[in-house]
Structure 1
Amino acid sequence: MRLSTTTAAVLAAVASNGLLGPAAVLAANLTFTVPPHPALLPGGASSLPGSTHATLHARGPPHAAPLRRDGTFVFVDVAPGSYLLSVHGRDHVFENLRVDVEEAVDYDSGNAKKTEKVRAWQTFRGNEWANRGEKRGETSGKEAGQMMAEVRVLGRKEYYQERSGFSPLSFLKNPMILMGVFSLALIVGMPYLMDNMDEETKAEFEEMQKNSPLGQNPATQLQNFDLASFLAGKKDEQPQQSTQSGGSGSKKRG
């Protein structure tokens, strides 16, 4: 099917003015690299497994990019918007980036031309979207619509919990051990405390021991000890009742 000269001219004018749709014209190409880390990733992206991939999340369906042989993630024809970049790896944890693809007008060529301005910042999950971290990349004037940024590794994923060895500090932090050490120190140090007391304080302490429910017949008192009555300040009235009953019996006998 042949087009007429007028139809071809109209289509050429529409294409030159960018009226074929903003999605076909305004689209950015994004490239992300993983730099090597001396401790976590010494071999760089080449040592990552083949299942490693990156995703760009927005309101619509996410964009996905696999790990290429050169160790990069390439997203093609990304429409303007604000995206969250996440790198999913089997063995490592990577930082998240906020990627903004915005429409811009380029006046350097003499004619106003719509281009894409792309910027990337470090971001953090759980924080506000406006909370931006360190800038990771930005498009230059010569390469409008194309950006290359770095995605840094943060740590390794641990799937197994290592068995902790013996630690004297953790042994001493045990509550039962602390109670035993305190009781032993109290038993050993009490005689020295009593020897260093003055006579008046020592007499008061002995008087308190005599008035204590455990001071008289400790074996039976310990079995029948009432903690609530002791804390309330109540005294045992059984001895008085026994003396009264004994006295009344003697009178009857007489």
Structure 2
Amino acid sequence: MLDAFKHWFSRRAGLPGERALAEWAHAQGHHFKRSRDADGFIVEAHDATWRLEWGPSQRRYIQGQELRLRAPLRGASGLQLLVLKRSLLDLLEKQVFEQYTQGLQTRIDLATPDEMRWLVLHPKLPAAEMQALRGHFGAVGQPLPALAGWVGGALGTALVEHAAARNSDDAPLLLIVQRERLTLRMAMARPDPQPIAELLKLFEVARREAQRVAAQWSTPSQDDPASSLWPHSVDGPDAPAR
């Protein structure tokens, strides 16, 4: 009974940052609501072009709370593209290496998300093509020319500006194109409107550039080359980092 009351009360009580985020969303004409478990928020764009979620992390490499932004992409079925902070790239490579050396093949098959599997399966974008992103971000994917095209223009500039604005902030951040969808993940302890608005600008640039690349490089839908190695892995939640 006590546990049930605590759960009911937690659903009724306001979460940190809820009022400010709701006011911001409504002022922009977006739709705001609590998540199903009442442990986070959902904001849907007024034109249905993107969906924002804030709540407990769905990835082990992000501790605490995270922000997730998702948007559909037209004709991007042949693209598998990933750009992420250099510190996060180093961490994920270390984790994948440890799983292999410790013989945890079953663990890899069942629970490893795409962003980790691709570090093994796909080539990295050469440092020379990273230009100003070098040292701040890493990128892997296929086709490699499409990856270069995605980060080589306006998105690269936006990422450099993002890194400069946050200076020493090393919060995990990644952008991934998979299954005709763009997703952004970033650690965010509190859902304050200003940093969310800044990330939305970055996300919109990434979405626009991904759509441009998709128009140039998209191919008919094909099986993920990872399927033979990780037949059960999907882009579902990793075990929540709680």
TM-score (norm 1): 0.18
Instruction: Specify which structure has the higher proportion of helix.
Output: 2
Q: Which has the higher contact order (CA 8 A, sep 6+)?
A: 2
**Larger-gyration structure (1/2):** 1
